[in-house]
Amino acid sequence: MSIQIQQKLHQVHLKVTQARVAVLKVLLDRNEQLTAKQIYQQLYLTQQKVSLSTIYRVVCDLEKSGLIIQKQQGRSDTKYAVPELSDMGALNIQCSALAQVNKESLIESLVHLFQSFNVDVVDIEFGHTSH
């Protein structure tokens, strides 16, 4: 699981840190909306010492990158969650001669393009299609 989390952080150009991996792992494992304090409590129970202020910084970074979303419900504390597939849309683009393209440069360009439309890119996959 932590390798997948590290890959997700790399994909959105965030440095892999122990705190980011730990917070994202809690949100993925629990699969429910949690406040920063609840994330802190979960990490504390597993002997992971991450300060509450660090958790607030991490959830801010993760939200900006699109890996998590913020859900405000009335006057209660803000809750954070991993976006569900139903919350996301997908775009499938088929290209020829993709093997010759610098994928890292292409990803950066696509992320920049989508940001100009205020759309957060959560994941970009490269693969082969069979006709």
* Assigned token pair, 58: 């991490």
Distance spanning both ends of the chain, measured CA to CA: 32
CATH numbers and ranges of domains, the chain: 2-85 (1.10.10.10), 89-131 (no CATH)
Q: HSE, CB side, 13 Å, CA atoms: give it for residue 122.
A: 14
Contact 7, 123 (CB under 8 A): no
Instruction: Summarize pLDDT for 67-116 with one digit per residue, the tens.
Output: 999 887 667 789 999 887 545 667 777 787 787 888 888 888 988 888 88
- Share above pLDDT 90 across residues of the chain, in percent, rounded to a whole number: 43
Between CA 102 and CA 74 the distance in angstroms is 46
Measure the CA–CA gap between 29 and 32, rounded to whole angstroms: 9
What's the whole-number mean pLDDT along residues 54-66?
Answer: 95
Q: How many CA atoms lie within 13 A of 115 on its CB side?
A: 10
User: What average pLDDT is seen over the chain?
Assistant: 85
Rounded to two decimals, the pTM is 0.63
